[in-house]
Amino acid sequence: MAYDLLIKDAQILDGTGAPACNGNVAVQDGKIVAVGEVAGTAKRTINADGLTLAPGFIDIHTHMDAQLLWDPLATSSCWHGITTLVLGNCSFAIAPCKPQDHDHILKTLVRVEGMSLDALQAGVDWAWETYPEYMDRLDRQLGMNVATFMGYSAIRLYAMGSDASERAATADEIQTMRAIIREGLDAGAYGFSFNFNPAHIAADGRQVPSGLASFDEVLAMAEVLKGSQAGLIQIIGNPNPPTPAPDNYDIIARTCERPVLWLGVLHSYSQPDLWRRNLSAAEAHVAAGSLARPLCTPRTIDVLFNLKNVHIFDGFPAWKDVLIKPPEDVIAALRSPSRRDDFRRDLQDPELRSPFSRRWDLMEVIETVHEHNRHLERRMISDIAAEQSRDPLDVFLDLCIDEQLDTEFLTVLANGDEDAAGEILKHPDTVVGLSDAGAHAALECGYGFSTHLLGYWVREKQLMSLPEAVRKLTSMLADQLGMDDRGRIQEGLVADLVLFDPDTINSLPPTVEHDLPAGAKRFIQKGTGISHTIVNGEILMENGEHVGSYPGRVLRRA
Ligand SMILES: [Zn+2]
């Protein structure tokens, strides 16, 4: 018998964390049918010549909900060995959605997730109302596999209309939303997601709908998942303060009896010890049998922004009130000395939480509009301020005013402390992800988290072994999702595979393109060192090029 595909002479990492062994892998009808000393012929043979063959990587935290509609290849994830991505995180989704809410829901994505409204309006075809209809629309053409989380902000908006951003749900509304979730889970969604981050506000200045849910409401939804063999709940922010967030995640996990994946453990300059406290709490819960685990990321989270599109100050009330306005009103407000005093007071208030680090020595001027400001490019605001003997806040705001808010800045939001980032990453209880692919397309770029983990952290920094890193990118994530037919190289499992060179795999620096619908700008990030990405037994990418196939599909929870 001739196999469909035979990969010969590979260093096989099976995804369990076990060391590599040399051998062949045969694929037939989309499945792995033989591993090891495999004889026989095949319609297509790949001579691996000692390259490493691993299960395809899973990207468990993306916001590709809209992008996949116009970009079924999921660029730039396709260049990083990803064979399954998960969308619908942080409560954001575009289904279910009533026709009258189309604009409202797109605007929810614009501020927090930094998506272009022009691109969304041009690229989203609204060929659905319900969640199952959306899944069917996605399934028409896909390069890689897609698993979906239902987003609780979309569910709330669907069930409660504009009140979703105002109040907790009534008993009737809770029953309606439980039914919506049940319908999505029955159609194969892999769970649902919540958002309680107070800095996550929609274009209208109100917190996104998920954030208005009471803890009882959250637990009522969590119960819907109980009894399932697959699926999980993803959550960002604390659903029940002042009880510590990790304790609340544990309660949710005990209620649904499935994993809760929370966001997350990251180093942050504004709360430099928080990561250690959160990691200890997570460790204690896991040791006590909890299914709640924190998400982390191998990358630093940087953001490129101007004051027209920025969300990183939204946790500071005085800043938020101003920056939500149209540009001419923002400029007028920034000129006001009393407003600046309010801004300053927010920055000094240790109780306020916002992604901005409050560190002007980490705020770099990237691109100026005016010739007379060019000399400021590639310099930190703190240095410019010291040179001019002025307050950094004034330097920053005056530059923004002078350039009508179009000056581009770059700053690091999280994981700037490399020792902390490494300790988080190698901890056995942390789940690796958070590419945020599809979101913040013109602000930051995390597509390459998998290649960065293998190239930078494993090869250069030797933080963990290659088999362990591959386990964190494959079987560990499949186990969280309850996806028992993927994430390992084993006979009988689906042939999602990636063939790479551990000596050269890496992510490349991002480049700027204007290829979104309506010509909107975004970052593209390619990778090196991957020779083949195989999805459901078919080659998708070869040496960084798409071979023309679309073997992916929407994965349906059993
Ligand atoms: Zn997210």
The amino acid at 402: D
Q: How far is the CA of 436 from the centre of ligand 1 (A)?
A: 6
The amino acid at 204: D
User: Edge-to-edge strands of the sheet including 260-263?
Assistant: 150-151, 191-196, 232-237, 260-263, 292-296, 431-432
* 3-state SS track over 497-533: EEEECCCCCEECCCEEECCCHHHCCEEECCEECEEEE
pLDDT at 513: 84
Q: How far is the CA of 89 from the centre of ligand 1 (A)?
A: 5
| Packed helices 102-112 and 152-160: angle between N→C axes, nearest 10 degrees | 150
Q: Which two tokens stand for residue 286?
A: 């896991």
Q: How far is the CA of 200 from the centre of ligand 1 (A)?
A: 10
Residue 546 has pLDDT above 90, yes or no: yes
Count Cβ neighbours within 10 Å for each residue of 113-138 and write b for 16 or more, e otherwise.
Answer: bbbbbebbeebbeeebebbbebbebb
The answer to whether the beta carbons of residues 298 and 453 sit under 8 Å apart is yes
Q: How far is the CA of 74 from the centre of ligand 1 (A)?
A: 16
Q: How far is the CA of 373 from the centre of ligand 1 (A)?
A: 35
Q: How far is the CA of 174 from the centre of ligand 1 (A)?
A: 24
pLDDT at 230: 97
pLDDT at 454: 98
Q: Which two tokens stand for residue 282?
A: 């997570």
Q: Which of 114-123, 150-159, 249-258, 480-489 has the lowest mean pLDDT?
A: 114-123
In the structure, what pLDDT confidence band is assigned to residue 202 with cuts at 50, 70 and 90? Answer: confident
- The answer for residues whose C-beta is within 8 angstroms of residue 283's C-beta and 6 or more apart is 427, 429
Q: How far is the CA of 90 from the centre of ligand 1 (A)?
A: 5
At 263, which helix (H) or strand (E)? strand 260-263
At residue 158, what are phi and psi to the nearest 5 degrees? -65, -40
Mean pLDDT of 512-516: 84
pLDDT at 516: 84
pLDDT at 1: 72
Residue 211 has pLDDT above 90, yes or no: yes
Mean pLDDT of 105-127: 86
pLDDT at 517: 86
Q: Which two tokens stand for residue 236?
A: 């960002």
At residue 275, what are phi and psi to the nearest 5 degrees? -60, -40
Q: How far is the CA of 203 from the centre of ligand 1 (A)?
A: 17
| Packed helices 337-348 and 392-402: angle between N→C axes, nearest 10 degrees | 130
Whole-number mean pLDDT of the chain? 94
Q: How far is the CA of 263 from the centre of ligand 1 (A)?
A: 8
DSSP category for residue 196: E
pLDDT at 23: 97
Mean pLDDT of 498-515: 92
Q: How far is the CA of 150 from the centre of ligand 1 (A)?
A: 13
pLDDT at 63: 95
At residue 403, what are phi and psi to the nearest 5 degrees? -110, 25
Residue 38 has pLDDT above 90, yes or no: yes
> What is the rounded CA–CA span in Å between residue 131 and residue 115?
21
Q: Shortest CA distance to 82 belongs to which of 19, 146, 136?
A: 146
> What is the rounded CA–CA span in Å between residue 76 and residue 527?
9
pLDDT at 496: 98
The answer to whether the beta carbons of residues 240 and 252 sit under 8 Å apart is no
Q: How far is the CA of 61 from the centre of ligand 1 (A)?
A: 6
CB atoms within 10 A of CB 23: 19
Residue identified by tokens 């800045």 is 409
Q: How far is the CA of 23 from the centre of ligand 1 (A)?
A: 38
Q: How far is the CA of 30 from the centre of ligand 1 (A)?
A: 31
Residue 472 has pLDDT above 80, yes or no: yes
Q: Is 313 exposed, middle or buried (0-12, 13-18, 19+ CB in 10 A)?
A: buried
Mean pLDDT of 215-230: 97
pLDDT at 493: 98
What would the pLDDT profile of 390-405 be if each residue is shown by its tens digit? 999 999 999 999 999 9
Q: How far is the CA of 435 from the centre of ligand 1 (A)?
A: 9
Q: How far is the CA of 35 from the centre of ligand 1 (A)?
A: 37
> What is the rounded CA–CA span in Å between residue 528 and residue 507?
6
Q: How far is the CA of 196 from the centre of ligand 1 (A)?
A: 12
> What is the rounded CA–CA span in Å between residue 405 and residue 396?
11
Q: How far is the CA of 492 from the centre of ligand 1 (A)?
A: 33
Q: Which of 90-104, 124-138, 298-312, 433-447 has the lowest mean pLDDT?
A: 433-447
This prediction has a pTM of 0.91
Q: How far is the CA of 443 from the centre of ligand 1 (A)?
A: 14
At residue 77, what are phi and psi to the nearest 5 degrees? -60, -30
Q: How far is the CA of 31 from the centre of ligand 1 (A)?
A: 32
Mean pLDDT of 21-48: 97
Residue identified by tokens 């979104």 is 516
Q: How far is the CA of 63 from the centre of ligand 1 (A)?
A: 7
Query: pLDDT over 70 for what percent of the chain?
Result: 100
Q: How far is the CA of 165 from the centre of ligand 1 (A)?
A: 19
Q: How far is the CA of 101 from the centre of ligand 1 (A)?
A: 21
Q: How far is the CA of 485 from the centre of ligand 1 (A)?
A: 26
**DSSP-derived pairing of the beta strands 31-36 and 21-28:** antiparallel
CB atoms within 10 A of CB 348: 9
Q: How far is the CA of 91 from the centre of ligand 1 (A)?
A: 8
Residue 500 has pLDDT above 80, yes or no: yes
Segment 458-463 long-range contacts (CB within 8 Å, at least 24 positions apart) = 458/502, 459/502, 459/503, 459/505, 459/506, 461/422, 463/422, 463/425, 463/426
The amino acid at 477: L
What would the pLDDT profile of 137-185 be if each residue is shown by its tens digit? 999 999 999 999 999 999 999 999 999 999 999 999 999 999 999 999 9
The answer to whether the beta carbons of residues 192 and 184 sit under 8 Å apart is yes
Q: How far is the CA of 457 from the centre of ligand 1 (A)?
A: 23
Query: pLDDT over 90 for what percent of the chain?
Result: 84
Q: Shortest CA distance to 295 belongs to which of 434, 173, 391?
A: 434
pLDDT at 364: 93
Residue 441 has pLDDT above 90, yes or no: no
What would the pLDDT profile of 364-393 be if each residue is shown by its tens digit? 999 999 999 999 999 999 999 999 999 999
Q: How far is the CA of 59 from the centre of ligand 1 (A)?
A: 12
> What is the rounded CA–CA span in Å between residue 289 and residue 142?
37
The answer to whether the beta carbons of residues 115 and 93 sit under 8 Å apart is no
The amino acid at 319: W
Q: How far is the CA of 19 from the centre of ligand 1 (A)?
A: 33
pLDDT at 62: 96
pLDDT at 85: 98
CA-to-CA separations, 126 to 102, 106, 115, 161, 180, in angstroms, rounded = 8, 11, 17, 18, 18
